[in-house]
Chain A
C-alpha cells in the first residue's frame, strides 16, 4: 500500500534505475526513500523497514554493488544506478548458498534482520573467497539482530564461504 503523499509534496521527479536486473522507470516525490520506492512502489517487501533511521541495517541493499541503508538513501539519489535486494539472491527455486546455510544453521529466528544480513553477507562473499570469522563479524557489524546472539549467523556465513569455495573446485 502506498503511503499518503506528504503534505506539500513537490512535483514528481522521474528516475531510471536497474532493480535486480530489471530496468525501472518511475516518478517519485523527492522525499521518497529508496526503501519506500522498493517496498511501496515496486512491491519488493524483502528489504525491511526496521528503525527507519539508519541504525539497524534491516533495509540493507546493494547500490552499484555496495551495501547501503535504503531507509536513509533518497530514491532520487539512486537515479541511473543499480540496486540489488534480497529478492535477487535465489535463482528460481534455487537458493543462494548463504540462504541455504542460514536455513541449515537455524540462523534466522524471527527473520526480520535476515534480508539485511544476507545482503551484507553476499557483498562479503562476492569480494572475498576465504573470509575469516573476524572478516564476517566486520562485514555484518552494521546489522543488528535481537534474537540469535549472532553466533549462528556467523557460523552460517562461514559455512556458505566454504560451500562456495568447494563448488568452485578449490581454485
Chain B
C-alpha cells in the first residue's frame, strides 16, 4: 500500500475561483487535473503539498473550440482521450491525435489532461521510486541529495521530458496560455520548457495552464509522431519524435521541423534542417535529416537503455518522415 500524505482539498467551481485560490498560497498548493502524474508522485513521497486544488469542476478548462482562422483552442483540462479522438484534431493535427492516443493506457487517457501532459514531471530511474528505494542511495539532485547518478559530476538535473504531446505541439507551432491573479500570458510551447530537470517548465507556482492554441494548418502540411517504449502500452516513451513538413505544390520542402523528446529536460528541436528546403523530401534528404538528429540527440541513462536508444534515433526519424500524414481542414 502506498498511502497519500495528508493535505487540504480545494475544489473551485470556476476559473476565477481557481486563480484566486492559487494566488492565495502559490508555494504551498499543487494543481490536480487527472491526478495520474501528481498522485503517484505524492505516493512516492516526492511532493507533500499543504493544499491540493482540484480542476475537475472548472468547466472553462475542458472545451475544444475552433478559432475563426481555422485553428483549434484546446482547454488545458481537456482529457487526452478526447484530444485523441476529436475529429477536428484528427483531421488537422494527426500527429497530436496520435501522440495523445499513445499516452499510457485507456484509463489514464480518460483521466489525464493535455495541460497535465504538458506540465508532466520530468522522469528518471533514480527519481520515480519509493522514498524507501531513494533513501538507499541517499537522494539525488532532483530530490533530497547533492549527487546526480546519471551524470556523476553533473550539477544540473537531466531527468527527461517524458510527455508525448509537447513534441507534436512544438512541431505545429502551438502556444499555451498561463493565467494567474497577476495577469495572463501566452507563449510558444517551445518556450514553456526550461533546461532543468528539477523543474522543466516556466509556469510560475501561481499560474494555471488554461489553453493550448494550435494555428490553422498550412496548406500541404504533413506530420507524424513516433514513440518507442518497452511495451506497446502503459509505458512512457524511451524516445519520441514528431515531424511536420510544409511542402509546395510541386512537393518541395518549404519548412521541415523535427522535435525529439525523452532525452533530457528539454524537448529538442533538430537544428540545420534548412538544407532540405526547395528540394523534394527524397530518400537522400530523409537520410540527411536522420543523420542530423542522430548527431544532435544523446539519450541518457536517466531512462535507461541509452546505448540502443542512441542507435535508433536515425531509424525512427526515417520512419516518422516516411509516414507523414496530410492535414485536412475539413472535418
Interface positions of A (Cβ within 8 A of B)? 3, 6-10, 13, 29-33, 49, 52-55, 57, 60, 66-69, 72-74, 76-77, 79, 120, 138-139, 141-144
When the two chains form their complex, are residues B9 and A141 in contact, meaning their CB atoms are under 8 A apart? no
Q: Contacts A30-B8, A74-B35 given: A53-B2 contact, CB under 8 Å?
A: yes
A residues near B39, Cβ cutoff 8 Å: 33, 53-54, 72, 74
B90 to chain A, nearest CB (A): 16
Q: Contacts A54-B108, A77-B54 given: A3-B6 contact, CB under 8 Å?
A: no
Q: Which residue of A lies closest to B128 (CB)?
A: A53
A residues near B8, Cβ cutoff 8 Å: 10, 30
When the two chains form their complex, are residues A68 and B6 in contact, meaning their CB atoms are under 8 A apart? no
A residues near B36, Cβ cutoff 8 Å: 54, 69, 72
B residues near A6, Cβ cutoff 8 Å: 3-6
A118 to chain B, nearest CB (A): 14
Interface positions of B (Cβ within 8 A of A)? 1-9, 11, 32, 35-36, 39-40, 43-44, 52, 54, 56, 104-108, 110-111, 232-234
B186 to chain A, nearest CB (A): 29
When the two chains form their complex, are residues A29 and B107 in contact, meaning their CB atoms are under 8 A apart? no
Query: Chain B interface secondary structure, helix, strand, loop or mixed?
Result: loop
When the two chains form their complex, are residues A7 and B232 in contact, meaning their CB atoms are under 8 A apart? no
B residues near A7, Cβ cutoff 8 Å: 6
- In Å, the complex CA distance between A13 and B11 comes to 11
- In Å, the complex CA distance between A77 and B11 comes to 9
Q: Which residue of B lies closest to A8 (CB)?
A: B6
Q: Which residue of B lies closest to A53 (CB)?
A: B40
Known: A141-B105, A144-B234. 6 other contacts (CB 8 A): A30-B6, A30-B8, A32-B4, A52-B1, A57-B105, A141-B232
Q: Contacts A54-B39, A74-B9, A77-B56 given: A31-B106 contact, CB under 8 Å?
A: no
- In Å, the complex CA distance between A142 and B233 comes to 7
Residue in A30, A120, A142 whose CB lies within 8 Å of B108: A142
- In Å, the complex CA distance between A67 and B110 comes to 8
- In Å, the complex CA distance between A138 and B111 comes to 16
- In Å, the complex CA distance between A72 and B111 comes to 10
When the two chains form their complex, are residues B234 and A9 in contact, meaning their CB atoms are under 8 A apart? no
B68 to chain A, nearest CB (A): 32
B134 to chain A, nearest CB (A): 14
22 contacts between A and B (CB under 8 A): A6-B6, A8-B5, A10-B7, A30-B6, A30-B7, A31-B3, A31-B5, A31-B6, A49-B1, A54-B39, A60-B107, A66-B110, A67-B106, A67-B107, A69-B108, A72-B39, A73-B111, A76-B9, A77-B56, A120-B107, A142-B234, A143-B105
